Chains A and B, each alone.
Chain A
């Protein structure tokens, strides 16, 4: 464990705050993954690696879409409940 995953604390009934943090982390992770594809090594293993990281970038980008959808629903949920 590198320490980036310290258990966050519930934010007092507002799921959008946690989801926003999740979105930010996934966006940053996606950027890091894209950067990780740059390897100055022309070995077969590096080619396999680039291809697989490319697949991972696309897969994680899809999660971004799902998180954005969850964020939208959470905002609606809060609006309907009247709490912020």
Chain B
């Protein structure tokens, strides 16, 4: 290699190119945190990626040469003698590009072969770049940078929503109630269509809502950060002097408790065991006597705890006890998310969302603690918490709460579509967060997935649905409900594990080893708000 990094056939490669345009679904997954490759392994990966990028460049160079060979046939002005009828190769004299059709059969065959070779070599080159790029990403050595334009728009969104938040704040209770509705992400997209379309026809509203969801997805973290800061600044007493998201959420939580008619200021919770006849189907879910074999299965089971899916009553959570083959006992807690945007008679509502974001006492974690206490969990028996949306925030809040780790041995934490970036989980606990920017909720803490804390034990897997070639992903990217749904997050984890990313498989394996066993029993709890 020359000092300038060039060879006789061109400069040495710098690295594989990032794929442009829509990507295969597995290439829309990005992983942050986790135990990446060692230094030695990283060096080896970089070398391999550079080689594969070098191969890509060589193949592109070869493709160009094939096109040159083709031009040598079709631009015979430089060698007119080639095109003589007596050779059977074409007309005599120069014909230029317009004369291609007049080439003899042998020349035409050769030209077609050169073009086809060029096309195939370019495809191989793109494939090589993709393989190198995937390798670097799987080793945690490649990260797409936010563009300058995206950072600029993000700053403008923060500033703009700060103003909106402050305006809502100075309007008092009614204005804050409006801001609260906006802040609870589950409804943001659904409202967005109607607001942005100005009450137009449903098809137009749908398209506008989809476009808005896709367009806003990149900037929802900045939007929530600005909105929260604005509200907190306008109501410093209710925000208790705390700036940003926590202060703003504190103000809105106050409104959710105190607002006439729709508010609910019950400060206690009641937890009762459910019997099979409490379920609309007259029986508990079929999986209740078997342990989950994977994190994906645990997430899917949790999705079944939402009301309407299998007739589960509102405000239900499940705790499963599993006996492993070695006789070891472990526990899994399945916690679904928000079931009512407004305050409800159970703690899976918008009020708990806001109280958790504000770091205030909340009904959701209180209910989980009650259920855990009722379960009879032993001090050395690992407990894995699996939560969606509000359930994920509550689970993370519990794991990070002082004293919880002393009462329970936390075996793992899984969240899907939950804003958890402001909470620091304890070292040694395997943590897996699943997010998509299009679900809006994950970024309600004002942080994108890239800004979540990254440690050896804590992995965030994010998937950009809008970048996918899959029709189902594209559809979900314009629909907050679909983007936020548990199956979308399960697919994200499937794709991440399928890609062989060691950071994801390592943390998922650690967690799933605690989920399955030979014998399992599940207790289902109804949770309700109540006066203490």
Contact = CB atoms under 8 A, between A and B. Distances in A.
B44 A32 contact: no
Chain A interface secondary structure, helix, strand, loop or mixed? helix
A70 B355 CA distance: 72
B449 to A, nearest CB: 19
A41 B499 contact: no
Given A48-B500, A70-B110, A41 B87 contact: no
Contact of A73 (B9, B48, B106): B106
Contacts of A82: 81, 87
Given A4-B58, A67-B117, A32 B45 contact: no
B128 interface: yes
Given A33-B52, A40-B41, A60-B59, A4 B110 contact: no
Given A18-B68, A36-B51, A56-B128, A29 B13 contact: no
B65 A21 contact: yes
A79 to B, nearest CB: 10
Interface in A41-81: 41, 43-49, 52-53, 56, 59-60, 63, 66-67, 69-70, 73-74, 76-78, 80-81
A66 B113 contact: yes
A19 B134 CA distance: 31
Contacts of A21: 61-62, 65, 68
A51 B311 CA distance: 47
B151 interface: no
Interface residues of A, number: 62
Nearest to A38: B48
Contacts, number: 222
Interface string A1-44: 01111111111111111110111111011101101111111011
B73 interface: yes
A15 B67 CA distance: 10
Contacts of A53: 52, 128, 131
Given A33-B128, A80-B87, A82-B81, A18 B45 contact: no
A48 B499 contact: yes
B139 interface: yes
A36 B55 contact: yes
B50 to A, nearest CB: 8
Nearest to A10: B71
Interface stretch (B119-127, B237-245, B283-291): B119-127
Contacts of B134: 45, 49
B106 A77 contact: yes
Given A25-B9, A47-B500, A53-B131, A39 B44 contact: yes
A37 to B, nearest CB: 8
A32 B88 contact: no
Contacts of A13: 72, 76, 78-79, 82
Contacts of B124: 56, 59-60, 63
Given A10-B78, A40-B44, A63-B117, 12 more contacts: A5-B60, A8-B68, A10-B75, A13-B78, A19-B65, A25-B58, A28-B9, A41-B41, A43-B37, A43-B500, A80-B87, A80-B88
Interface of A: 2-19, 21-26, 28-30, 32-33, 35-41, 43-49, 52-53, 56, 59-60, 63, 66-67, 69-70, 73-74, 76-78, 80-83
